């Protein structure tokens, strides 16, 4: 039981960290923003 719990905890941690570190920066009302590292303006939510 302890082994299953540990595996589940690791899997959830890895999955959550992928979302957290996807990239920085908020988006505007159209789902777009400027990447601070590259200066590129791009959108995430196609409308």
H/E run at residue 27? none
pLDDT per residue as tens digits for the range 1-45: 899 989 988 877 766 555 555 555 678 888 888 888 889 998 886
Block residue for tokens 């690791």: 10
Structure token pair of residue 28: 């505007």
pLDDT of residue 12: 77
Residue 2, SS3?
helix
pLDDT of residue 6: 93
pTM of this prediction exceeds 0.85: no
pLDDT of residue 23: 56
Domain residue ranges in the chain: 1-43
């Amino acid at each position: 039981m302890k082994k299953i719990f540990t595996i589940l905890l690791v899997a959830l941690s890895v999955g959550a960290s992928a979302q957290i570190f996807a990239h920085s920066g908020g988006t505007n009302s159209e789902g777009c923003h400027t990447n601070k590292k590259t200066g590129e303006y791009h959108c995430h939510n196609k409308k």
